[in-house]
Amino acid sequence: METNHSISLISPVMATYTRFPVTIVKGKGSYVWDEQGTKYLDFTSGIATCNLGHVPETVKEKLEEQLQNLWHCSNLYHIPNQQELAALLTANSCGDQVFFCNSGAEANEAALKLARRYANKVKGNPSPTIITFQQSFHGRTLATLTATGQDKIQQGFAPLAPGFSYLPYNDIAALYQLNTIRPAAVLLELIQGEGGVIPADPEWVQKLAEICQENGILLMVDEIQTGMGRTGTLFAYEQYGIEPDVISIAKGLGSGFPIGAIIAKAEAAKGFDPGSHGSTFGGNPLATAAGVATVSHILKSNILEHVKEISAYLDDKLQSLKKQFPIIEDIRGKGLLKGLVVSANALEIVQKAMANNILILTAGPSVVRILPPLTVSKNEINEFIIELEKTFQSIEKGE
């Protein structure tokens, strides 16, 4: 059968995204440029991915060096960058061993598989249950969308994977159901990003960790959006006084180069042995080169302190906007992951902000999400606030 592609009006790319009418062709630091040369202040960071800004020199140099030597072999052989990155991650977390993959969804998929296999192999539980929370987001694979506590993400994909149950987020009373359900594992975000930029209550997290410890339940924390310094510590869990058994990471781990991972304590890592899980591209020389450069720079520079200082500055500026515009009902989040709860259509605000050359995101219909790079300066925040003020003024005037 012949197909005349030259006259087809159908895009060769599947329509899985509702795209904005902008084509980004260049980025540097906190800015991106479209194909017309228009400059935008990017406070999305590729959805919390370009934590060091666009094309950071330290990562670029490491990648260029690696490109001259080896792009890919396979996990049948030892990969020095992989060993180095795993050592960096375990030395700076509560974990002992790392599995590398290519994305956040794959990282959470690996965490879910590890939890099930640990329950089967180590605990002798042939039908384990995993608990997640309402309004969570954990990915788009069949297992991770089932783990996601949002009906809209699951619609059309039945039958969903069995073995999942959901509890309300930040509800201490509901946690006592864990004593009855006795799940193999609990998976949670310490800030529900896609669910509305909702931070976990510290008392609730402490009680959850206590119940997991008492009942031998694996505590798994999804740090895909909060990890790599976004909240002011390398991992958000450090601010809650807990030690997860499994941590999933991706996004900011490679400064935009696709890489994901789980970090597990030695006991939980017993669930995997040779042949139990794998990835052709996971942890390959290029991806882990980006990871080594990214993590090393975060640890050796003053970025974590900078995030604490600059996020307080951003907070002050946003609070001033809130006083000026009643449309802003609340400000949520930690570090450089902020959510503005608005009494308007969040998508309309994002679109109008784009017309003022700033890029921001939604986190549901009534939350505007702000994710500047961790390297953002006070001048760039001032520029952002000026343009965001213009955006809210136009919304108020009905323009």
Say what the pLDDT of residue 10 is: 85
- pLDDT higher than 50, residue 1: no
Please give the order of strands across the beta sheet that includes 358-359.
24-28, 31-34, 39-42, 358-359
Say what the pLDDT of residue 26 is: 98
Domains annotated on the chain, with CATH: 5-55+303-396 (3.90.1150.10), 70-300 (3.40.640.10)
3-state secondary structure the chain: CCCCHHHCCCCCCCCCCCCCCCCEEEEEECEEEECCCCEEEECCHHHHCCCCCECCHHHHHHHHHHHCCCCCCCCCCCCHHHHHHHHHHHHCCCCCEEEEECCHHHHHHHHHHHHHHHHHHCCCCCCCCEEEEECCCCCCCHHHHHHCECHHHHCCCCCCCCCEEEECCCCHHHHCCHHHHCCCEEEEECEECCCCCEECCHHHHHHHHHHHHHHCCEEEEECCCCCCCCCCCCCHHHHCCCCCCEEEECHHHHCCCCCEEEEECHHHHCCCCCCCCCCCCCCCHHHHHHHHHHHHHHHHCCHHHHHHHHHHHHHHHHHHHHHHCCCEEEEEEECCEEEEEECCCHHHHHHHHHHCCEECEECCCCEEEECCCCCCCHHHHHHHHHHHHHHHHHHHCCC
Percent of the chain with pLDDT over 70: 98
Say what the pLDDT of residue 8 is: 59
pLDDT per position as a tens digit, 280-307:
999 999 999 999 999 999 999 999 999 9
- pLDDT higher than 50, residue 81: yes
Say what the pLDDT of residue 399 is: 73
- pLDDT higher than 80, residue 242: yes
Say what the pLDDT of residue 398 is: 80
Q: How many CA atoms lie within 13 A of 234 on its CB side?
A: 18
- pLDDT higher than 60, residue 2: no
What is the rounded CA–CA span in Å between residue 86 and residue 223? 16
Tally of residues, the chain: 399
- pLDDT higher than 80, residue 124: yes
Range with lowest mean pLDDT among 13-22, 54-63, 157-166: 13-22
**Based on the number of CB atoms within 10 Å of its own CB, is 149 exposed (0-12), middle (13-18) or buried (19 or more)?**
buried
Cα dist. 197→193, 218, 223, 361 in Å?
4, 24, 13, 11
Confidence of residue 121 (pLDDT cuts 50, 70, 90): very high
- Residue 260 region, left (φ>0) first, then alpha (ψ -120 to 50), else beta? beta
pLDDT per position as a tens digit, 329-383:
999 999 999 999 999 999 999 999 999 999 999 999 999 999 999 999 999 999 9
**What is the pTM assigned to this prediction?**
0.95
pLDDT per position as a tens digit, 82-107:
999 999 999 999 999 999 999 999 99
CB 88 within 8 A of CB 296: yes
- pLDDT higher than 70, residue 3: no
Strand-pair category, 328-334 with 164-167: unpaired
